[in-house]
Amino acid sequence: MDYILSSVQLQLVQVKYDFAMPIGLDHRCVHCTMKIPFRKKRFRKQFGFKCWRPILDEHGHPTSYQQHICEMIASSSTSTASDLENILLRAGVKHGTSGRQRIVFSPSEHLQQLRVARKQTVEQHLRKDLSLQIRQIHRQELKQWKSNQLNAFLGNPSRWKDLRDYLLRPSGRRSVMYPHLDDFASMLEGLFVGPCQPLQRPMRLTEPGWDLSELRFAVQRLKTGKCGDELGLTAELLKHAPEEFLNTLLTMYNNVLVTGERPESWCKTLFSMLPKKTRPLQPADFRPIANIRLFYKDLERLKLFCASQGINISWLENGWNFEFKVKL
């Protein structure tokens, strides 16, 4: 072979001649090792809305975030669930930041001065003494800092996941062997199996429509600091939304109540299978976590709040008085 046709990315690593193989009249064979260098793909981390907070103006109001939502609502011709989700998604990325606190250790001023002195020292024995002193002080400050952070985080349940950074990490990587997807589907089918008969639509709707005050109460009852839904939307985005957006959302909810037609995105539920054990083997060793859309979750809060108004059932049974109250 006299020529090698390849791309520019192909690089020559090693070449050697082998005269032991009688090939042709030249009795010579050329062995070459070539490689194509490649870079690892850097996956850009998706913008997360967990612990999201809007950008505030000089008066402490999310003016830019609400104005952007109002402009998109005015320019949109339809007000479906997908359109409203996209409006919140775009406005949240453009006019908000993640308010999640990072665990960053900052050394003391004395420790920083010692590190600067070690860089400026030329003599080897002085650098060694400074290194030992820096190592000792750094361990003491880090231990005290971890204790303070641990006491602070234990009082906030939403920050418990950050405590994993304090644990010792193993040198290798622990891989979880997941069962086949069909096995998970069979397990979920057994958990949620039930009658799927369609409900008959009543001739006349007796339940009144929802108003804006009920929707506001349902929105305020949504839990914050939680992971987002399939699109990444969280309750923080909906709590800072303007009144125009809530009116449009309320109109969609009332249309669902009157017509009985729900959005197609609400018919699909994503499950995250979390292992219960260190080495799970069967589908029963995993815990299914359902990921529900934000608007669907808000509608559940709204219906529960309206149904709980005036509910206080008391009855006598075996001589005891029982009361049932719905807790939101």
Q: Determine whether 62 is exposed, middle or buried from the number of CB atoms within 10 Å of its CB (0-12, 13-18, 19+).
A: buried
Q: What is the largest CA-CA distance in the chain?
A: 111
- CA torsion sign for 129, 132, 134, 140 is negative
In a domain, 287, yes or no: no
Measure CA of the first residue to CA of the last residue in the chain; give whole Å. Answer: 79
The number of helix segments (H) and strand segments (E) in the chain equals: 9, 8
* Domain boundaries, position 136: 109-163
The tally of domains found in the chain comes to 1
- The pTM of this model reads 0.65
Task: Tell me whether residue 184 is in a domain.
Answer: no
Asked if residue 180 belongs to a domain, the reply is no
Let me know if residue 86 belongs to a domain.
no
In a domain, 137, yes or no: yes
* pLDDT value, residue 318: 42
What contacts 175, CB < 8 A, 6 or more positions away?
none
Q: Is 215 helix (H, G, I), strand (E, B) or coil?
A: helix
Q: Report pLDDT for 46.
A: 53
The reply to whether 260 falls in a domain is: no
For residue 172, give the DSSP letter. S
pLDDT at 162: 67
Measured distance CA(248)–CA(87) in Å, rounded: 12
Query: Is position 25 within any domain?
Result: no
Q: Pairing mode, if any, of strands 270-275 and 286-291?
A: antiparallel
Contact between 210 and 298 under an 8 Å Cβ cutoff? The reply is no
Which pLDDT score, from 0 to 100, does residue 29 have? 57
pLDDT at 238: 93
pLDDT averaged over 10-residue windows placed end to end, the chain, 328 residues: 59 64 52 67 58 88 93 89 92 84 81 92 91 93 86 76 64 69 89 77 82 92 87 91 94 90 88 86 89 91 79 42 45
- Residue 159 in domain: yes
The predicted structure's pLDDT at residue 6:
59
Tokens 């996941």 belong to residue? 161
